[in-house]
Amino acid sequence: MTIAFYDTKAYDREFFGRTPGHDQVEWQFHEFRLNATTAGTAAEARAVCIFVNDRVDRACLEILARQKVKLVALRCAGFNNVDVKAAGELGIAVVRVPAYSPHAVAEHAVALLLTLNRKIHRAHNRVREHNFSLSGLVGFDLHGKTVGIVGTGKIGRIAAQIFRGFGTRVLASDPFPAPDWAKKHGIEYTGLSELFRASDIVSLHVPLLPDTHHLLNDRSIAEMKPGAYVINTSRGKLIDTTALIGALKSGHLGGVALDVYEEEEGIFFEDHSGSVLQDDELSRLLTFPNVLITSHQAFLTREALGEIARVTVQNLLALDGGKPFLDGTIVGG
Ligand code: NAD
């Protein structure tokens, strides 16, 4: 069985190449992304394997269906880049890896906050240049602060528990709350507005859906405490970047840590160090001393990559053997 594998990185080859069952599949690794323009390259394939910035819209799926592709296998949890409804109509199954390592993402969110607050990135650069001055490196104790967790699914819950370990008060908001879990960990559910108003730090852990698009906008950011910190390790389009820049310029927000960016497609995951950055809003964000950006790397641990490869290979072999996909991995089905 041939699998067309898109947006391939060296670590994908490494981890898929050592997963049991990988040798039962013929891999066609492509470094470019899958979209309606490139879909013709899956002509030989029964399945396509994609990541967060491939764009599998209806036009792309129609081409895949004509080529007899039967499965879209996402190497990630979020599936906002696949038109699941169109896939269902065209008879193409969609599988994902719903929980490869929620710890990886939650731990990265906390790492971003600690780095930004205690200015570790700036201190590291200074010390390497033998500048041992402490001016401008003042942070704050996390202990005693209020952290607002938006979305208490797999990742949000782990992040909330880690923050409890720092001695913070943790507020949470989710349309499907988990009261037993909250009680056990001393976490308080509240409405979103109340969470924004009361939190010193707001961390986003919701999927990108029509009703979460620009969840942080001029209005919701204005509700936040002056000096609040925002962390987003979820999806870039949860935040209206123009509103975020406005709140940073006015000083209303104290700090912003992002692992994802609204227009990251075509920028993140690649080396652009030799060219002129064309995205003016990203360029502006990079000028703020109180903004820290990583390039969608929250998932990047050995454990997560191993699990992504294991689940994906099992699902591909299930397709080949006419067996059901792993529990919980199918979306829209
Ligand atoms: P999950 O499905 O387990 O949890 C999502 C939670 O959000 C659910 O409890 C849901 O009820 C809640 N939710 C939905 N709409 C909401 C709203 N309007 N307000 C508040 N809560 C809402 O998902 P997860 O595994 O915790 O992952 C969360 C997101 O993290 C994913 O959708 C993905 O976009 C992102 N992610 C990012 C990376 C990365 O590398 N940066 C890696 C994995 C996942």
331 DSSP 8-state letter? S
Query: Measured from the CA of 153, which atom of ligand 1 is nearest?
Result: 4
Tell whether 173 and 113 lie within a shared domain: yes
- Binned at pLDDT 50, 70 and 90, residue 164 comes out as very high
Tell whether 159 and 288 lie within a shared domain: yes
Taking the C-alpha atoms of residue 297 and residue 288, their distance in angstroms, rounded to an integer, is 21
Residue whose CA is at the smallest distance from ligand 1 atom 8 = 153
207 CA to centre of ligand 1 in angstroms = 4
Summarize pLDDT for 273-311 with one digit per residue, the tens: 999 999 999 999 999 999 999 999 999 999 999 999 999
Tell whether 30 and 117 lie within a shared domain: no
Which pTM was predicted?
0.93
Mean pLDDT over 263-268 rounds to 90
Higher-pLDDT residue of 98 and 182 is 182
Beta carbon of 177 within 6 Å of any ligand 1 atom: no
Tell whether 135 and 218 lie within a shared domain: yes
Residue whose CA is at the smallest distance from ligand 1 atom 23 = 153
Beta carbon of 153 within 6 Å of any ligand 1 atom: yes
Tell whether 282 and 142 lie within a shared domain: yes
SS3 57: coil
Tell whether 13 and 69 lie within a shared domain: yes
pLDDT at 105 over 70: yes
Q: Which domain holds residue 321?
A: 2-100+301-331
Beta carbon of 157 within 6 Å of any ligand 1 atom: no
Residue 328 is encoded by which pair of tokens? 């919980």
Taking the C-alpha atoms of residue 144 and residue 137, their distance in angstroms, rounded to an integer, is 20
Q: What share of the chain is helix, strand, coil (3-state, %, to 5)?
A: 40, 15, 45
- The pLDDT > 70 percentage for the chain reads 100
269 CA to centre of ligand 1 in angstroms = 21
Q: Annotated catalytic sites, by residue?
A: 235, 264, 296
Tally of domains within the chain: 2
Tell whether 75 and 118 lie within a shared domain: no
Tell whether 270 and 179 lie within a shared domain: yes
Taking the C-alpha atoms of residue 91 and residue 72, their distance in angstroms, rounded to an integer, is 11
Tell whether 225 and 306 lie within a shared domain: no
- List 94's β-bridge partners, or say none: 72
Residue 231 is encoded by which pair of tokens? 């962390």
3 CA to centre of ligand 1 in angstroms = 28
Q: Domain of 190: which CATH number? A: 3.40.50.720
- Binned at pLDDT 50, 70 and 90, residue 266 comes out as confident
Tell whether 96 and 107 lie within a shared domain: no
pLDDT at 333 over 70: no
Contact 63, 39 (CB under 8 A): yes
